[in-house]
Amino acid sequence: MKLAARWRLVLVVAFVGALEIASRRAWIDPVSFIPPSKMAEGAWALLASGDYTNDILQTLANASLAVLLAVAGGFVFGVCLFKLPRLRRVVDPLLLSYYAVPIFVVYPVLIVIFGLNRWPLVAIGFLFGVVAMATNTLNGLERVAPVLLRSARAMRMSTIDEIRLITLPASLPYVFTGVKLAVVYAFIAVIAGEFVLAGSGFGFRIAYAYNNFDNPTMYGLMLLLLVFVGTLNMLLHMAEERLYSRTRRASA
């Protein structure tokens, strides 16, 4: 294990240990914060009981739908921005402002449009993820070295072949970053949406537990979420690293 990874493990373990001690010794208010070990117990109990399976599956389904739409839509949007430089120039500053507004304020509007079902949530997830996917697709396309495209022309490749054999492989690492971000953001959005205004789903369960002062359940659910998102992020990151390692000699 690399030195940095070892130290990281030590750091994380020390931090969790400190939390454990602090909460057991009541240095932190035990009503607000329960020891990590209790959180873990609670989380395990929740999983085992199967009461929350439906909610978990529902949230996963919503998020997956949102991811699919965000990736597809974002990719197309990114390609459009690439092909239309004027559009891109103008849209540039707007893209960052996009993330400044809590997008899920339009949630009620979406409910009226789609009805009280999963679609407003999926739409929110889509809206959150599509921009990240688009900008990273754009980034990837721009980073294809011009000399590669000129080589394609020198070899008299057809457009389809050029896209298939050169453009896509060359931009793949960056496009994958977009996919990774779309996944992360879609999850954030769907769970946030469920938290705020929903009747079921994982986010809703957390809010429900909070409102009912059911701290063990709430923390158990939060821990589950943290573990899940953390693992997902790590897997995506590892895949991303593999893709990038082909394009550079030392890992950035």
Partner 1 sequence: MSTLLTSTLKPAHQHRKWSDGALLVVALLALWQVASSLLGAEVLPGPWLTFLKLKSIMSDDDFPENLRVTAVAFALGFAISCMGGVCLGLVLGAQRLAGDIVEPILMAFYAIPKITLYPVVLLMFGLGLYAKVTFGVIHGIIPITIFTMNAVRNMRPVFARTARACRLSPVSYARHVLLPAAVPEVLAGLRIGFSLTLLGTLIGEMFASQSGIGHMLMIAMSRNDSQTIMALASLLFIFATVVNLAMLKWHQRLIKAP
Total residues interacting with partner 1, rule: CB under 8 A:
71
Closest contact distance (angstroms) between CB of 233 and partner 1 is 4
Compare residues 69 and 224 and give the one whose CB is closer to partner 1: 224
Closest contact distance (angstroms) between CB of 105 and partner 1 is 5
The reply to whether 225 sits near partner 1 by the rule CB under 8 A is: yes
- Give which of 130, 134, 119, 100 is closest to 193, Cα–Cα: 119
Question: How would you class 190 by CB atoms within 10 Å of its CB: exposed for 0-12, middle for 13-18, buried for 19 or more?
Answer: buried
Q: Which residues in 69-88 contact partner 1 (CB under 8 A)?
A: 85-88
Those residues with Cβ within 8 angstroms of residue 107's Cβ, 6 or more apart along the chain or in another chain: 120, 124, 193, 196, 197
Closest contact distance (angstroms) between CB of 61 and partner 1 is 17
Neighbours of 2 (CB within 10 A): 7
Closest contact distance (angstroms) between CB of 152 and partner 1 is 21
Compare residues 161 and 241 and give the one whose CB is closer to partner 1: 241
Q: How far is CA 252 from the centre of its chain?
A: 22
Separation CA 56–CA 37 (nearest Å): 22
Compare residues 152 and 176 and give the one whose CB is closer to partner 1: 176
Dmax (CA) for the chain in angstroms is 73
Separation CA 78–CA 76 (nearest Å): 5
Closest contact distance (angstroms) between CB of 234 and partner 1 is 7
Neighbours of 239 (CB within 10 A): 14
Give the tokens for residue 65: 């739908």
Compare residues 71 and 218 and give the one whose CB is closer to partner 1: 218
Q: Of the ranges 4-12, 19-27, 117-125, 157-165, which one interacts with partner 1 (CB under 8 A)?
A: 4-12
Q: Which residues in 87-126 contact partner 1 (CB under 8 A)?
A: 87-97, 99-102, 105-109, 112-113
The reply to whether 142 sits near partner 1 by the rule CB under 8 A is: yes
Compare residues 132 and 152 and give the one whose CB is closer to partner 1: 132
The reply to whether 181 sits near partner 1 by the rule CB under 8 A is: yes
* Secondary structure letter of residue 12 according to DSSP: H
Compare residues 3 and 154 and give the one whose CB is closer to partner 1: 3
